Amino acid sequence: MKNYQRINNLTGFILFASASIVYWLTMEPTASFWDCGEFLSASNKLEVGHQPGAPLFLMIGKMFSLLAMGDTAKIAYWINFSSVLFSGATIMFLYWTITALASKIYPKEKSTVQSFSIIAAGVIGALAYTFSDTFWFSAVEAEVYALSTLFTAIVFWSILKWENNMDNRWLVLIAFLVGLSIGVHLLSLLAIPAIVLVYYFKKASKPDLIGTLKAFAVGCLLVGLVQFVIVQYLVLFAAKFDLFFVNTLGFSFGYGAMAFIFLLAAAIAYAIFYSIKHHKYNLNLALVCLTFILFGFSSYFMIVIRANAKPNINLSNPDNPFSLLSYLGRTNYGDTPLLYGKTFDAQQTEIKETGTEYRKGAKTYEESGKAYKLSYDKNLLFPRTYSNKPRHAEFYKNWMGLEENESPGFFQNLSFFHSYQVGFMYWRYFLWNFVGRQSDVQGQGSLTEGNWITGIKSLDGLRLGNQAKLPPSITANEGNNIYYGLPFLLGIAGLIFLYRKNKQMTIIIATLFFFTGLAIILYLNQDPLQVRERDYAYVGSFYAFAIFIGFGVLAIKETMARMASHKLSLALAAITGLLVAPVIMGTQGWNDHNRSDKKTAVDFAVNYLNSCAPNAILFTNADNDTFPLWYAQEVEGIRTDVRVVCLQFLADSDYIDQMKTQANLSAPLPIGMTSEKYQKGVRDYLPFIDYGFKDSVELKDLLTVLTSDNKDDKVEMQGGSFENFLPTKKFKLSIDANQLVKTNTIQAKDKDKIAPQMEWDFKKNFASKADLTMLDILVNNNWERPIYFGSSLSEDTYIGLDKYLYLEGYAYRLLPLKRDAKDNRDKSEVTNSDVMYSNTVHKMDFSAFNKAKYLDPESRRVANDTWTYQNALAKNLISEGKNPQAQQIITKSIKELPLKLYSIHDTLNRLETIQILHNLNNHQDANLLASQTASFLDQELNYIASLPARQQQVSLRDIQIGMYVLNGLAELTNETALSKKIKKKYKELEDSFSKSLG
């Protein structure tokens, strides 16, 4: 076919346009949850995000942000649109990759049918990936994975172009792309082993098993060289040079690092000259490729330059080679054992010093402490059950069936790796994409949450129990995507077909599949109870499987060609392939990937900030508690008077320094400590040593002791050093009532409600640097700035102040008010009612939750939290005799918050709302909501009752909540027909669960 190449190119561009249109139509118009808010903020002002950074992504994002033409509300739209284009381009290169591979199994001079068969394979494989769950999710938001996958796609396509014409300029391009991709994400590095195999199979006259294994090993070695030697050790050498130049020769910071860079450039330049002069072609090629990798890696200069500019977001402050080394090495995330390490119940036995750590001082580098290696009494080869974080030990025991004091053995450890890390944390995601997904509820190990299904009841019933009457939490969940396993079967058919036709090609694609999927599982060694699903990390392996799906079309055509003409078999194969992969995946996945009308993250951020009084200090956690707020402030300029203090970063001395400077309209925080009191390596950890104080200690006096440099105020630690310590957990802060009135913290009419002092118990056995900084703020703020804590923090981050926290929206305000000793309400039930009412009615808009056609799990979590807070406010307004205001709050909630129930846990909020409606004499709405809730619970609990006893035990918490709510509904509806109906359901379910659970 003479015009094959022209048609092939044109089809690629059509697929780029088609995929881009799909992603554009389903794109989120503003910031999303998780890291997107941070990436948008950092892109807009070229700031420094979390380790290990993504400088190239940020610079490209900045260029796209300029398309907003000064409209700050459109900046997120255009940066999100960059992901749309990157993803569309990925589909185009995937198509060209499939057609390039498929062309190898046909003669050079192809017939028309053969040419169109190749094109059909490429189109269907590319479209299958277009609509795959994981890739589609990343394609419509400002995340690095769209651009990272594009780099992987171009790199793999480029080696096929090299294979076609043996022009080594393609290898140089690959090296440059790999270097550039480091500034986005390290995913494309994992394509290197597959690239080396392509090189080997092309160059070797007689490829064999030994040669293939050697090439595979070389590929692994190259990945290690790039990831560790280039990305980290070159920076380490630069740091050592800088240390020598600054501390020994007396130069200013940075001169040593620049000297190293010039020396490295000179050495490479000379080596290239030498290779040319002595006709060392392979050496020359390797050096040129190295040079271009370094050119690409140079995007990290942006991180250092911007860190020195001290922007508002400057995490880890990588403004010198040592801090950049830590930044690239992701030291904030801790070490994970890979080949040998401890079990979760191991005890520390020994500490070995392994080196010296440095920090940037005023004029020289200073020692910040020592690096240590810890030894433990219980260790395993290939440790997979190592984490001793809260709740993890219990999870390991439950998953592996361990007794209370039993340690995991090697085979139990392997079983956890196989069943959880590989099975639950990889194959489950893989099957989501190509077999089907039960729901979008995050799985934590339960058979009924976030699992994969085929949609074939007899097959699913073998794994998940009775599939005859699935409940609405599954069938009405937008993430319930039924593919009947057809895309998977098409891919397996393609794998078998390709293996029969070309074993070398199969090995190459399988290598790409392994390294971008299962190899990541091996390397990451994930601990359990992840805060979110991690399927985005394996998007490269799903890309590789889409290639097999393309070949599945050729497998169908070849099979049908035995019974029909070549043209008819091609038509049937193309139609079948379209229907069983792209069509079913696209139609099933559209509703849970369509974010075109979703603005929940931004509205949440605005409501969160509007919960705070002017010039407030707001303590938050990272990710969804912080990043949307950063977006609102740094991109759209909303409520920049509020200083958002992320407690997960407050243990970093550089972050504390940032908090002591002006940020937009927010004045510096009132931190009294000088930098030498909290610099890296100083007061990182303050252990509690009981000195027997019976009475509470004034916080100001305690802070003086905690920050004292007097040896008498310290305790000798293991190793001989003297460190500050926490001598008591009983804290006290005396209150000047006049100061509270003067600063408008409390109105003058409420002066008699002010407590003379705040007393509380610190709940941890040590104080971190973040805790120390919070105590400093409490002492030095003198109530001049309102202090708030986020409502979704972990309990230990409230440092025991619970009884002085009052809900004013999405945040608790710290108020020194008297509290009745008999008042044992949880802080989530205590409101500063008048202020929260005013905030809710005049400053908050919840309508985004109802306007969105699809609410992702995080949006639903926020919506349910909102129900909780609004119910608490309405109940307190009623108890204060303010029924009209309570009615206004509950009416706003019903109008703007979603009423749809996604899980049994959601019904707790609805029960409270129904109770409030009855208290307000709104019985009609109450009964309507009660009927809907009871119907939902009837279906959910009947489904659980149909499961085997073992699976019911897993859902015991759901059963308890569901039965509690049903009983509450029966009492609230008070002997009506509805009440009798609910009581009957309750009795039937109670009998059923009593029989199965005893």
Question: DSSP per residue over 813-863, as a string?
Answer: EE--B---TT----GGG-B-HHHHHHHHHHH---THHHH-S---HHHHHHH
Q: Has residue 950 got a pLDDT over 90?
A: no
CA distances to 533, 536, 647, 648, 690 from 799, rounded to whole Å, are 30, 35, 12, 14, 17
- Quote the tokens at residue 884: 């009209």
SS (H, E, C) 206-236: CCCHHHHHHHHHHHHHHHHHHHHHHHHHHHH
Task: Return d(Cα 219, Cα 508) in angstroms, integer.
Answer: 12
Q: How confident is the model at residue 374 (pLDDT cuts 50, 70, 90)?
A: confident
Q: What is the rounded CA–CA span in Å between residue 829 and residue 790?
A: 15
- pTM score, whole prediction: 0.94
Helix axes 503-515, 209-224, angle to 10 degrees: 30
Q: Where are the domains of the chain?
A: 4-303+484-593, 332-403, 601-902
What pLDDT does 468 receive? 62
In this prediction, residue 945 has a pLDDT band, given cuts at 50, 70 and 90, of confident
pLDDT for the residue 5: 92
User: Are the CB atoms for 581 and 520 separated by under 8 Å?
Assistant: no
pLDDT (mean) for 225-233? 92
What residues have CB less than 8 Å from 698, skipping those under 6 apart?
732, 733, 734
pLDDT of 843 > 70? The answer is: yes
CA dist., res. 551 & res. 498, Å (int): 7
Q: How far apart are CA 231 and CA 328, in angstroms?
A: 7
Above 70 in pLDDT, residue 570? yes
pLDDT of the residue at 838: 96
Count of positions (residues) in the chain:
998
Mean pLDDT value across residues 362-366:
92
As given in the structure block, the two tokens for residue 877 are: 């307004």
Identify the three-state secondary structure at position 408.
coil
Q: Which DSSP state fits 619?
A: E
- Under the banding of pLDDT at 50, 70 and 90, the label for residue 230 is very high
C-alpha dist (Å) from residue 674 to 422, 618, 682, 753, 773: 48, 22, 12, 36, 11
Alpha-carbon distance of 916 to 887, in angstroms, equals 9
Range of lowest pLDDT (307-311, 409-413, 871-875): 409-413
Per-residue model confidence (pLDDT) at position 462: 66
Contacts of 802 (CB under 8 A, 6+ apart): 760, 827
Q: Is the pLDDT of residue 834 over 90?
A: yes
Mean pLDDT along residues 551-567: 93
Of the listed ranges 124-133, 422-431, 682-691, the one predicted with least confidence? 682-691
The CA-CA-CA angle for residues 36, 188, 485, to 5°, reads: 80
Residues β-bridged to residue 69: none
SS3 572: helix
pLDDT band at 331 (very low <50, low <70, confident <90, very high): confident
Tens digit of each residue's pLDDT (9 = 90 or more) over 379-391: 999 999 999 888 8
Secondary structure (3-state) at 697: strand
Confidence check: pLDDT of 463 > 80: no
Q: Does residue 52 have a cis bond before it (omega within 30 degrees)?
A: yes
Residue 946 predicted with pLDDT over 90: no
Q: How confident is the model at residue 447 (pLDDT cuts 50, 70, 90)?
A: very low
Round to the nearest angstrom and report the end-to-end CA distance of the chain.
73
Residues 776 and 753 sit within 8 Å (Cβ to Cβ)? no
pLDDT band of 448, cuts 50, 70, 90:
low
Provide mean pLDDT across the span 650-655. 94
What pLDDT, on a 0 to 100 scale, did the predictor assign at position 988? 82
- Nearest one of 551, 558, 587 to 126, comparing CA atoms: 551
831 vs 333: CA distance, rounded Å: 36
pLDDT of residue 59: 97
Q: Residues 782, 670: contact at Cβ < 8 Å?
A: yes
The Cα-based distances of 629 to 35, 66, 531 in angstroms read 12, 22, 19
Contact (Cβ atoms closer than 8 angstroms) between residue 189 and residue 178: yes
pLDDT at residue 445, as a whole number: 47
Distance CA 592, CA 152 (A): 26
Residue 978 is predicted with a pLDDT of 80
Long-range CB pairs of 825-829 (<8 Å, 24+ gap) are 827/798, 827/802, 827/803, 828/791, 828/868, 828/869, 828/872, 829/872, 829/875, 829/876
- Residue 492 Cα to chain centre, angstroms: 31
Tokens standing for 151?
A: 């780099």
Q: Could you count the other beta carbons within 10 Å of the beta carbon of residue 329?
A: 17
Neighbour-count burial of 472, counting CB atoms closer than 10 A to its CB (0-12 exposed, 13-18 middle, 19+ buried): middle
Kindly report the backbone phi and psi dihedral angles of residue 349, in degrees, each rounded to the nearest multiple of 5, phi listed first: -120, -25
Which own/partner contact pairs does 735-741 have at CB distance under 8 Å and 24+ positions apart? 735/816, 736/783, 739/782, 739/783, 740/783, 740/816
Transcribe 579-611 into DSSP letters. IIIIIHHHHHHHHHH--TT--HHHHHHHHHHHT
Q: What's the pLDDT at 821?
A: 78
The mean pLDDT of 535-553, rounded to a whole number, is 96
> Which tokens is 983 given?
């009581």
Q: What is the pLDDT of residues 724-776, one digit of tens each?
A: 999 999 999 999 999 999 999 999 988 999 999 999 999 889 999 999 999 99
Query: What is the percentage of the chain residues whose pLDDT exceeds 70?
Result: 98
712 pLDDT more than 90:
no
Question: What strands, in cross-sheet order, belong to the sheet with 757-761?
Answer: 697-698, 730-734, 757-761
Q: At what angle do helices 75-102 and 112-130 cross, to 10 degrees?
A: 150
Instruction: Dump pLDDT digits (tens) for 71-117.
Output: 999 999 999 999 999 999 999 999 999 999 999 998 888 889 999 99
The mean pLDDT value of the chain amounts to 92
Residue type, 23: Y
- Residue 138 pLDDT exceeds 70: yes
